[in-house]
Amino acid sequence: MDISEKIRLTKYQTPSTKYVSPIKHYCGVFGVLGHEKASELTYLGLFALQHRGEESAGIATSDGTRLYLHKHMGLVEDAFTPEILAKLPGKAAIGHVRYSTTGSSTLSNAQPYMVDYSRGSVAIAHNGNLTNAQLLRAELEAYGSIFGSTTDSEIFVHLMAKPSYKNSRESVLGAVQRAQGAYSMTLLTEKELIGIRDPHGFRPLCLGKLGSAYVIASETCALDLIEAQFVREIEPGEVVVIDESGPKSFYPFKDQKNRLAHCIFEHVYFARPDSKIFGENVGLVRERLGRILAKEHPAKADIVIPVPDSGNFAAMGYAKESGIPLAHGFTRNHYIGRTFINPMQEMRTFKVKIKLNPIQEIVSGQRVVVIDDSIVRGNTSQSRVRLLRKAGAKEVHMRISCPPHVSPCFYGIDFPSKKELIAANKSLDEIKKFLDVDSLGYLSHEGLLSAVSFPKENYCTACFTGTYPTKIFDEMDKFKLERKW
């Protein structure tokens, strides 16, 4: 199937056939160099990564001489038409889907972010958060930098513009050593595609190949869609520079001792189950989470039902381990967007009411075990329990495939402040009463880490423990760069 036919199918498929993503998102990045249809491939790659952000989408391309850019608020399929893609020429491109974790949801903050500077043009697409963004921006503005957005991603571009750097490659290597926190990035210049991963490896980033072209993506599911070969994960602390001669790797942190800190919540929730991240298939990890959850928190029940779609694999594991039949007790309205990622509480509440509907004939009179990936504020879970009670469920037992969230994230997830996290402010019994469930069980921290194959020291679990793997310089506020100094 050629690229044009794939694009046609993504534009006109029915909503029920689309992959429906989880609720809490941040960003996804994609890049390709050396392909005649770079913009079309990037469109498809972003379509596969749509679950990582729905606020805006953008593509920047290079024809070897200059850069071209189009970005748009909303979904990938709404942002691009064949006519728009035709105006993005060249054999190299990068793309971005965004959910704002720093800066408002505005077109000026949409990515890729593109600028012209003394060494030419550069476009950047960033997944993650810089934890020293406020300090860096204050320093840069003190020396005369003028910012056109309120994202931390633009700060990286300003770091690259230091006059003492001899070329774009040197400027990138210099900038990464000033930036701190989480960043998986693609950058595009007139001649190069660059992939960067922070030395802690918070966010996934992989390298692929399609014929003679090279591809960079947040997740392997994007490679699958365009039928690219997975080559390897880009290593934590690696800078991959790809030009017409192929990729070259640089390791600016090789003399430093930076602990690995892969975000465990990628496995629990964010990444697509068909992706391979941090060396493991996401769906299989989630099934193991469900099995461990069944051992830690058994229940006397008639059926196990997942909260679709993020609870599906954990529910499968729980059902297999417990021997309780798996049933689909909720149907999802695929026309409705996400709840957590909508910044207005009123819209979140409205969408919760209409997004999921219990199937009365399945749950009525039954003792139900509900498997979900997490409870953040608690309002969404409370609404789901009410729906099940109204549909006639005899008992409702809530099981969560991760530990309680007690701390905000500073590395690119829009978790609320500590005061909004229900587990940071209520005891287990108080949460159980708030949700109106017959029993409540969270996966333990030890159980969570036993579900992954690599040493527990390799993962960041700060949102569950409050222990952060890096120094935090900035306050937890997505609008921190929008206030006047």
Does one domain contain both 345 and 453? Answer: yes
CATH number at residue 145: 3.60.20.10
Q: Are residues 318 and 187 in the same domain?
A: no
Look at residues 234, 260, 286 and tell me which one is the last residue of a structural domain: 260
The CATH number for 437's domain is 3.40.50.2020
Domain containing 354 equals: 276-465
**286 and 252 both lie in a single domain:** no
Catalytic residue chosen out of the listed positions 27, 206, 409, 463: 27
Tell me what pLDDT residue 415 has: 74
Residues 210 and 309 in one domain: no
Indicate if 11 and 132 belong to the same structural domain.
Answer: yes
Q: Are residues 241 and 349 in the same domain?
A: no
pLDDT at 4: 65
Asked, for residue 218, whether it belongs to a domain, the answer is yes
pLDDT of residue 149: 85
For residues 351 and 426, membership in a common domain is answered with yes
Per-residue pLDDT of the chain (485 residues; tens, 9 = 90+): 676 666 655 553 433 333 333 333 479 999 999 999 999 999 999 999 999 998 999 999 999 999 999 999 999 999 999 999 999 999 999 999 987 544 456 787 899 999 998 889 999 999 999 999 999 999 999 988 889 888 888 999 999 988 778 888 889 999 999 999 999 999 999 999 999 999 999 999 999 999 999 999 999 999 999 999 999 999 999 999 999 999 999 999 999 989 999 999 999 999 999 999 999 999 999 999 999 999 999 999 999 999 998 899 999 999 999 999 999 999 987 665 544 445 455 555 456 667 889 999 999 999 999 999 999 999 999 999 999 999 999 999 999 999 999 999 999 887 778 999 999 999 999 999 999 999 999 999 999 999 999 999 999 999 999 999 999 886 655 445 544 44
Domain annotation covers residue 317: yes
Q: Does residue 265 fall inside a structural domain? A: no
Is residue 27 annotated as a catalytic residue, yes or no? Answer: yes
Q: Are residue 55 and residue 200 in the same domain, yes or no?
A: yes
As for how many domains the chain has, the answer is 2
pTM: 0.89
Residue 143 lies in a domain: yes
Same domain, 133 and 13: yes
Residue 281 included in any domain: yes
pLDDT digits over 221-248, tens only? 999 999 999 999 999 999 999 999 999 9
Judge whether 254 lies within some domain.
yes
| 417 in any annotated domain | yes
Both 223 and 115 in a single domain? yes
Q: In the prediction, which pLDDT does 22 show?
A: 30
- Considering the domain architecture, whether residues 238 and 357 belong to the same structural domain is answered as no
Q: Verify that 128 and 203 share a domain, yes or no.
A: yes
Annotate the chain with three-state secondary structure: CCHHHHHHHHHHCCHHHCCCCCCCCCEEEEEEECCCCHHHHHHHHHHHCHHHCCCEEEEEEECCCCEEEEEEECCHHHHCCHHHHHCCCCCEEEEEEECCCCCCCCHHHCCCEEEEECCEEEEEEEECCECCHHHHHHHHHHCCCCCCCCCHHHHHHHHHCCCCCCCHHHHHHHHHCCCCECCEEEEECCCCEEEEECCCCCCCCEEEEECCEEEEECCHHHHHHHCCEEEEECCCCCEEEEECCEEEEECCCCCCCCCCCEEHHHHHHHCCCCCEECCEEHHHHHHHHHHHHHHHCCCCCCEEEECCCCCHHHHHHHHHHHCCCECCCEEECCCCCCCCCCCCHHHHHHHHHHHEEECHHHHCCCEEEEEECCCCCCHHHHHHHHHHHHCCCCEEEEEECCCCCCCCCCCCCCCCCHHHCHHHHCCHHHHHHHHCCCEEEECCHHHHHHCCCCCHHHEECHHHHCCCCCCCCCCCCCCCCCCCC
In a domain, 391, yes or no: yes
